[in-house]
Structure 1
Amino acid sequence: MNNEELMQRVTRDLMDSYDEELEMEIEDRVWATPDGGEAEVIDTPKDKEARRVYFRELFRLQAELVKLQDWVVATGHKVVILFEGRDAAGKGGVIKRITQRLNPRVCRVAALPAPNDRERTQWYFQRYVSHLPAAGEIVLFDRSWYNRAGVERVMGFCTDEQYEEFFRSVPEFERMLVRSGIQLMKYWFSISDDEQHSRFLGRIHDPLKQWKLSPMDLESRSRWEAYTKAKEIMLERTHIEEAPWRVVQAVDKKKARLNCIHHLLQQMPYKEVPHPSIVLPPRVRHEDYIRHPVPQDMIVPEIY
């Protein structure tokens, strides 16, 4: 393979790496109909231009996230980002786009399940503490300790005393994190009643997304106003100077992703970290090296 062919191969591989994002975009756009078919999506010239701008900006922001990652590692910075919002608000979508190009050893996601019997007897914040970052790490919480102010309050999973104790404790807990050197950011993804209804219907009729719809999600629809009240109280009582809340308008999921990523990049004084030029060493060959054939029964059948 000559140099020109090699560079063509590298370029093709680079384009292939973008296909994952394109696949997720297609997944967002294809809606199943109640009879099991697929709803036709007709693109107007305006739609095509909007998608082109979206991808251009997304890839640019993801390149900046890589620079941020390098700076975090180089400086030993510690970052925690909380993503909260109603079910189907788009938290998972923005988390995917943030982590997609990053090193999972540097940037990881904490998505904790409901507490087990032992965890229910612990200090409330205890199970979250073990997921906090060390130097040079970023942790994204897909839902967080604010479960107590939201779902636990609305669904009756905590007592009034536990609820009030949470609001007494959480500002001090977060101030303690900040004093310890952790940069804490909190995002609330805001969607309308109609938009959540539409997204839930999409999940109901899409077999690839039905796993996202839990009985708790369905129950949340009937308690929309209770969740709204709980959210308003939460934002009012936990919006502190050391860790303020930021509300992302998320009815348009693409704009929400771009706006959120752009905002979080603005919150950190990162700089591009210089890297030495990388030179691939030549392959070392030995005359006595013999590559043995792989037994045929070990090879995965090439169906495609």
Structure 2
Amino acid sequence: MRIGKSNLLVLSLLMMVSIILTACSEKKAEEADNDYPKKPIEVIVAFNAGGGTDVAARTILNFTEQHAGTSFAVINKPGAAGEIGFTALAGAPTDGYTIGMINPPTTLLHPIQRPDEVKYNLDDFALIANIVTDPGAFVVNADSPINTLDDLFEAAKDGKLNMAYGGPGTSEALTLRRAEEMKGIEFNKIPFEGTSPAVAALMGGHVDVLITNASEIITQYEDKKIKVLAVGSDERVDLLPDVPTYKEEGLELTQVSMRGLAAPKGISKEQQDYLAEAIRKTMADEEFIKKAKEMALPLDYKGPEEYKEFLENYNKELKEEFDKNPW
């Protein structure tokens, strides 16, 4: 079939219009990515304001703003040992303007323990970076007769030692269960929603001992208001160089609480990478490092891929342990 000159001209014009529209569309998409972020980013923290996770989030994000080109608004959603906040993060919009803090192993433990009830799992998060790895610690008042873990376990034999902890589904709960099994004891466990009220209860004599994160009791330790019996890291930590580890005290356990950033699954790869790079730059920022040291934040940076691999392996280990001996 022969095509007339007029038809050929129309066809050529249509092709040119199509090419121009396609180019414009691609340019707009590219500009959209390049314009990110256009507004402040909300950050869900699953624990109370003033707690360890909240302080870590606000500290690092204050410095990240200059590397990310936007501000961050921390939104506290405490409750159920973090489950409320983690669930909110997993179900948040995927437009890149809602991210949040996650707290392994606590974040991992909830869906392992109650898979039919918890509304999220690890696969629901796009990981950005780990920021802090904080060892656990057993803590008593400065005037307590308990001075070592052996003293603690001996005092717990009658089942009347009041132990403040973060509640079911936390790293503290897992550590206590394993310690009870290993030592043949039972603590009278009293849950608290956050470290601040638990420390207040300890200082007021309402509980005998507290298990928490080391970074959250440094001020009281330096003021000599408390004694730290041991820490849950593999080796002694710079924050508490004179305090032995659990293993040194004869308890063959480790206990650490990680604090990192994640987005809901579905965020674009470009936005995830942008945020990860902003955090990486922050973690190398000398002013931030200085501030973190002042605030006793035990920094431990893991980028998206390393963080993902670590948590997938950690999650597998926790599932295997739960299958063998549910807690």
| TM-score strictly above 0.5 | no
Q: Which has the higher helix share?
A: 1
TM-score (norm 1): 0.28
Q: Report the structure number with the largest CA radius of gyration.
A: 2
Greater strand fraction, Structure 1 or Structure 2: 2
